[in-house]
Structure 1
Amino acid sequence: MHVRPAAAAAAAFLGLTLSLLCGPASYAAPGPGSAAPGPLGLGGPAVYAHRGASAYAPENTLEAVDLARRLGFDWVENDVQRTKDGELVVVHDDTLARTTDVEQLFPGRAPWRVKDFTAAEIARLDAGSWFGEEYAGARVPTLRQYLDRVRRNQQRLLLEIKKPELYPGIEEQTLRVLDRAGWLDRRHVSGRLVVQSFSADSVRTVHGLRPDLVTAFLGTPKVADLPAYAEFTDRINPWHTTISADWVAAVHRLSGAHGRAMEVDTWIVDDAATARKVRDMGVDGIITNAPDVVREAVGGF
């Protein structure tokens, strides 16, 4: 889902207006199974800006993070992969073709996999023009650049370790970068950071290395299998089409790795009707490309 320049400008204006009215967002993380108060006193599920405000700006760029901030959103989500020379970068696909001009700059290097390019080569790529001319020149950020921007914006981060099977040791490396960027202190660990992955082994590894961190597994395990996940994770984050109210309740009945009721943050929900549907199922959070649409629909924060 992409919104072209006029809509993006309108979204940015809306965000500026909300910022002026409400001031900087600084909301406490919701407790398990609860709906914490959001802006203007609203309650509802937490709303996560998926890859930044990616309906209105190029995904996983600093521009998308900043737009999420202007729209008043505290939580942003990103994806982490590794370059040929060992730098962690923020990009969703394991190839660079969809969201950059890599085919023009490096025409002879198909299939343009992230792991086959150095950080310096990736830094040359335009990661914005594919989305809209107004974003020409946006770059693929390194993880450190991304962390610094999210921290400067006083936002919170849902960090996804993407395709860890391609990058042995990426869990430990990600934790080192988080530590050096000041993201593993008590303040961040207690309410500003969640690490997730589609790989149960990767989530288990992160939990083993940093048992204090909140972690999430991306997927929809069978109810009978949930207790095994509860041993090493705090949240189960499923695709919205795969869940029911009974399944959400089954997750909530379990205590996760930190002894609290497990949570459910569902993805990717971009329309009002689906947002209300999953809210009524009892989800704790909604991950969305269009956070403003979801917030208006469910009163989330």
Structure 2
Amino acid sequence: MHARAVAATTTALLGAIALLLPVHDARAGSTARPSVIAHRGASAYAPENTLSAVDEAAALGILWVENDVQRTKDGELVVIHDDSLRRTTDAEEVFPDRAPWKVKDFTAAEIARLDAGSWFGAAYAGARVPTLTAYVDRVEHNHQKLLLEIKNPELYPGIEQQTLKLLGNEGWLDQRHLVGRLIVQSFSAGSLRTVHDLKPGVRTGLLGKPAAADLPDYAGFADLINPSVASLSRDYVSAVHALTGPHGKPMEVFAWTVDDAPTALTVAGYGVDGVITNRPDVVRRTLYWY
């Protein structure tokens, strides 16, 4: 049976799974294994950043999903990774004269017309680029947690404030979400500093790998440092953990993107707090059931 058909049933089990699995959301005094985060949803099994990918992660029993947010020409926040629509939609066919098909050059209504699933497989024909509102509502419906990346903030002045306003309107800035269900990340330190200044209660993660000597500069506004797995070492993870983040707890590390068992075991051995993966079932099975 297709995952979307069973998602409603499997999401009801997530609460029980959460009690059984040692999810690592806070390091102090904890020896739990890393959290498993579904990269752009379960993107090995459904088209990335779609509601289908969220549901696929839920069907697999995955609590954390990661997504990317950008902004349309008329100011709607939408969930898509690339700054161009070309790779993951049929924008080139629907709007052949609109090259290079940048997200910022299309209205929300135009983007809503696009097929964001056929490129992945015929079973997903007709999937749409979700609005951020629809995305967070689906994550909430599935009782999941959200690692939200502000993508290309230099293209979208004020996107931090707009994103936080939307999250607040959707109920994602209450204490329950802030403590354990929401992290905002970005490659832009300036964007994260803005998020922290606007809403100090929001946990934030800096994507990339700053020099170890510079880590104290980020500890005032970033709770996590999230490097590529290829750049990671045990010593670097230890250097991050030695610092206290803006919420009075040790800084954490989420490593990306890990899709195979040997690499998952390696980074878990480094002591990372989370593993971001396109194949969350593979990583969870490796880290929790061996």
Name the TM-score class by shorter chain: over 0.9
The answer as to 2:95 corresponding to 1:96 is: no
Q: 1:283 aligns with which of 248, 272, 280?
A: 272
The answer as to 2:188 corresponding to 1:199 is: yes
Count of residues paired in the alignment: 286
The answer as to 2:25 corresponding to 1:30 is: yes
Deviations 1:10-42 (A, max 9, x none): x77998997788765445662126767xxxxxx
Do the aligned residues in 1 keep the contact of 2:221 with 2:246 (CA within 8 Å)?
A: yes
Alignment gaps of 5+ in structure 2 = none
Under a length normalisation based on structure 2, what TM-score does the superposition of the two structures give?
0.93
CA distance in 1, matches of 2:8, 2:140: 19
CA distance in 2, matches of 1:261, 1:23: 26
Matches within 5 A, 1:106-117: 106-117=95-106
CA distance in 1, matches of 2:16, 2:113: 33
> Which structure would you say has the larger RCO, counting Cα contacts within 8 Å and 6 or more residues apart?
1
Q: 1:23 to 1:259 in 2, by over 3 A?
A: closer
Do the aligned residues in 1 keep the contact of 2:117 with 2:127 (CA within 8 Å)?
A: yes
The answer as to 2:148 corresponding to 1:153 is: no
Q: 1:249 to 1:113 in 2, by over 3 A?
A: same
Do the aligned residues in 2 keep the contact of 1:35 with 1:46 (CA within 8 Å)?
A: no
Deviations 1:171-195 (A, max 9, x none): 0000011011111111111111000
Do the aligned residues in 2 keep the contact of 1:128 with 1:138 (CA within 8 Å)?
A: yes
Matches within 5 A, 1:41-190: 43-190=32-179
Secondary structure of the 1:246 match is helix
Secondary structure of the 1:231 match is coil
Q: 1:163 to 1:65 in 2, by over 3 A?
A: same
Do the aligned residues in 2 keep the contact of 1:33 with 1:284 (CA within 8 Å)?
A: no
Secondary structure of the 2:70 match is strand
CA distance in 2, matches of 1:184, 1:54: 26
Do the aligned residues in 2 keep the contact of 1:24 with 1:72 (CA within 8 Å)?
A: no
Do the aligned residues in 2 keep the contact of 1:253 with 1:261 (CA within 8 Å)?
A: yes
Deviates more, 1:12-21 or 1:220-229: 12-21
Matched residue type, 1:108: D
Matched residue type, 1:32: R
Q: CA deviation at 1:203?
A: 0.4
The share of aligned pairs that are identical, in percent, is 63
Under a length normalisation based on structure 1, what TM-score does the superposition of the two structures give?
0.90
CA distance in 2, matches of 1:271, 1:64: 19
Do the aligned residues in 1 keep the contact of 2:13 with 2:61 (CA within 8 Å)?
A: no
Secondary structure of the 2:37 match is strand
CA distance in 1, matches of 2:125, 2:107: 21
Q: 1:158 to 1:22 in 2, by over 3 A?
A: closer
1:210 is aligned to 199
Moved over 2 A (4+): 11-29, 32-36
Secondary structure of the 1:48 match is strand
Do the aligned residues in 2 keep the contact of 1:26 with 1:154 (CA within 8 Å)?
A: no
Do the aligned residues in 2 keep the contact of 1:89 with 1:142 (CA within 8 Å)?
A: yes
Do the aligned residues in 2 keep the contact of 1:16 with 1:71 (CA within 8 Å)?
A: no
Deviations 1:204-235 (A, max 9, x none): 00000001110000010111000000011100
Secondary structure of the 1:89 match is strand
Matched residue type, 2:93: Q
Matched residue type, 1:70: A
Secondary structure of the 1:258 match is coil
CA distance in 2, matches of 1:292, 1:247: 27
Deviations 1:132-190 (A, max 9, x none): 00000000000000011100111000000000000000000000110111111111111
CA distance in 1, matches of 2:56, 2:29: 27
Deviations 1:109-154 (A, max 9, x none): 0000000000000000000000000000000000000011100111
Q: 1:22 to 1:59 in 2, by over 3 A?
A: closer
CA distance in 1, matches of 2:268, 2:82: 29
Task: Give RMSD over aligned pairs.
Answer: 2.2
